Chains A and B, each alone.
Chain A
Amino acid sequence: MTKVFDNEIRAVDGISFTVDEGEILGFLGPNGAGKTTTLNMLATLLRPTSGTATVNVHDILAEPDAVRRSIGYVFQDPTLDLELTGRENLDFHGRLYSLKRDVRRQRIEEMLELVQLTDRADDLVKTYSGGMKRRLEIARGLLHHPQVLFLDEPTLGLDPQTRRSIWEHIQRLNQDKNITIILTTHYTEEADYLCDRILIIDFGKIVALDTPDNLKARLEGDIVSLAFKDPAKMVKIRPLLEEKDWIRRISVVASDNSHATMSHMMQMMRGMSGGVGMGGMMPGMDSGNVRGGGKMPQRMRQMLAQSMGGEDDQRGLEGGSKRLNLLVDDGGHRIPEIVKLADASEVVLESVELHKPTLDDVFLSVTGRNIRDEQGSFMETVRRHRIIRQARGHRVRG
């Protein structure tokens, strides 16, 4: 399947995959990678530019209504009616899917029970917390007993506890009702915890598709992560490390505060895509010089770095620091050698960590970018998002 917006942005670029019945498949990728666009095509909300797909044996182009009947879709942005109660939201949904009165009532009770909202069912949704709303949306997506459930960023913006409880709900649904689940996320730990298989998508292309364990096994060796007292001096040790043949890859990653940075960016993006065009703010952004998969022009990178308060995207995020991650064979035994190198180049190490490769590392190795470190591609992402959002509208199918 391919989706091109405005003859320019290849939001989804020739992807092809199969999902088994009862499987949980996760789309992992940064914002603007094409995850939501793919889901929207599968849900018959968008028509693919080329290609097609079959959902629960129904073709998305030939039998959109049959597809819609067999899927549940929990959208990324909230889609509840806040002026109605939880029960009324479910009731509305049940009626739209032509459930008979008795069936409807019984299932509403069942679903409320499942997501533990029974005692708040008759309160207006506007009084719900974020996690409760999310749970209600999941309940609603399940009300008509879909065979396939699409979850677009199911835990975006939720606190860790709520996230954990939603994960448990999702797993239980999958196990108890054998529902096939396709979810999108840009949290690697979410993909790791929930998914049977993970599809890593970047700039509209599938770059990897495998089980979490197999993906991690691709990176043989260990990750040795170095933090420095003065991150600016990182450059002094780097050439020395690059000479060593037992270091298979070196990458700079943002340390601990990456989450905060990410949510800050998400907020910025929300604000920007909601009506205020980037054109006025960033001259040159609208000239169409970014093609799918292309690199961000240097000028934009500089402007971005300035606007973010940093001088260069290779040096410190605001208030955070960078680490150097080394992919090393037999990492434990190499640490003393690395420390010696640091001493020799008069760089003071603050800490050294050793860990097995995580999905973050996998993502970095297959895309060349850190999934958390969205700064490098931030402007491009915003732009893609904006174009996709605008373009989506004109082609949405009825």
Chain B
Amino acid sequence: MVQPLSGQAIYVVLLRELKRYWRAKARIISSMAQSFFFLAIFGLGLGGFLGGFGGIDYLSYLAPGVIGMGLLFGSVFSGVSVIFDRQFGFMKEMLVAPVSRTSIVLGKILGGAMTASIQGVILMIVAGLMGAFTPTPALVVGALSAVGVMLLITAGFVGLGVAIGSVLSDFHAFQLLATFVMWPLFMLSGVFFPIEVAPFPLQVVMLFDPLFYGVELLRWCLLGAGTLILGPFGWLIAVGVLVGFAAVMVGIGAYLFSRAQV
């Protein structure tokens, strides 16, 4: 059944996501702190030991990955929050209204992508203040493009979260989700080490991680073209993969949401 989309409905669901995000200060602070610890302890500690990769110091190498981590966790979490909406009953309020479920889920995904990207921007600023990026005029353009990349990355992962949240009946399975989905996605994305230092089988697995392309793009935006591993047109491949991933995940998420239980 094709349902008409309502801009107003998408907007109001999105607005709710933003309001809720803004109120959950503890969540914002703890995820920022977590990323900060990664940067400070790994970046400075491990960096002192490793030096860096390919002429970039380790803190700079690490920063885009840590931003990617914030995006990943923030967006999957906000997608999975459909479970809370269901558990606390608010879902019914949305479903009995004369608007399509597709509008509701698109609002949810857009809202989630925006909140997670806001988080990413904050992390980018924190990393910048810690000296991860060289302040040049190019960095301004890079940072702005990075925001676009963040929205692309998060749209896909909020879609994934909504899909998972629509299938899971309660929140107990969330721990499993974190262990078996989020952490591997994070650690395989080339946050800590470049793909070329990994053994071949691991490299293959890493190439299947959509976040790997996201982190590659962020690194390219924030640190410059020299860092691209996928070749001179690597950014095009990465953008292609992320657009495809976002389209597929939003589609699956919207579909599963539409037929989920109340």
Contacts and interface: CB of A to CB of B under 8 A. Distances in A.
Given A81-B16, A275-B169, A68 B88 contact: no
A377 B80 CA distance: 37
A396 B12 contact: no
Contacts of A394: 259, 261
Given A45-B96, A68-B97, A77-B89, A84 B260 contact: no
A246 interface: no
A43 B88 contact: no
B262 A79 contact: no
Contact of A275 (B6, B102, B170): B170
**Size range of the chain A interface in the assembly:** 35 or more
A394 B91 CA distance: 15
Contacts of A73: 92, 96
Nearest to A393: B261
Contacts of B101: 398
Contact of A392 (B3, B88, B172, B261): B261
B24 interface: yes
B262 A393 contact: yes
In this complex, the member of A73, A83, A93, A140 whose beta carbon has the largest number of chain B beta carbons within 10 angstroms is: A83
A392 B262 CA distance: 8
B262 to A, nearest CB: 5
Contacts of B99: 96
A270 interface: no
A95 interface: yes
A84 B16 contact: yes
Contacts of B169: 275
Contacts of B170: 274-275
A375 to B, nearest CB: 28
Contacts, number: 91
Nearest to B99: A96
A98 interface: yes
Contact of A43 (B15, B90, B96): B96
B145 interface: no
Interface size class of B (residues with CB under 8 A): 35 or more
Contacts of A44: 96
A230 interface: no
Contact of A88 (B6, B19, B100): B19
A78 interface: yes
Given A78-B89, A92-B16, A393 B260 contact: yes
A78 B88 CA distance: 7
B209 to A, nearest CB: 32
Contact of B92 (A79, A83, A390): A79
A105 interface: no
B9 interface: yes
A321 to B, nearest CB: 38
Given A68-B96, A275-B169, A394-B261, A83 B20 contact: yes
Contacts of B24: 83
A398 B98 contact: no
B1 interface: yes
Contact of A79 (B1, B12, B89, B259): B89
Interface in A80-122: 80-84, 88, 92-93, 95-98
B203 interface: no
The residue in B3, B6, B8, B90 that gathers the most chain A C-beta atoms within 10 A of its C-beta is B90
Contact of A93 (B89, B92, B93, B100): B93
Nearest to A81: B90
A79 B261 contact: no
A135 B1 CA distance: 36
A274 B86 CA distance: 12
A75 interface: yes
B33 interface: no
A330 interface: no
B95 A96 contact: no
A65 interface: yes
Given A92-B12, A97-B97, A392-B262, A84 B19 contact: yes
Interface string B223-262: 0000000000000000000000000000000000011111
Nearest to A72: B96
B136 to A, nearest CB: 41
Contact of A396 (B11, B102, B261): B261
Contacts of A82: 88
Contacts of A392: 261-262
Contact of A98 (B3, B8, B90, B92): B8
Contacts of A65: 98
Interface of A: 43-45, 65-66, 68-69, 71, 73, 75, 77-84, 88, 92-93, 95-98, 124, 140, 274-275, 390, 392-394, 396, 398
Given A95-B8, A394-B261, 9 more contacts: A45-B92, A71-B96, A73-B96, A83-B19, A83-B24, A84-B19, A274-B170, A275-B169, A398-B100
Q: Which 10 A-B pairs have the closest CB atoms?
A: A393-B261, A79-B89, A68-B98, A95-B12, A96-B97, A398-B101, A79-B93, A65-B98, A69-B98, A79-B92
5 contacts: A71-B96, A81-B93, A82-B88, A93-B97, A275-B172
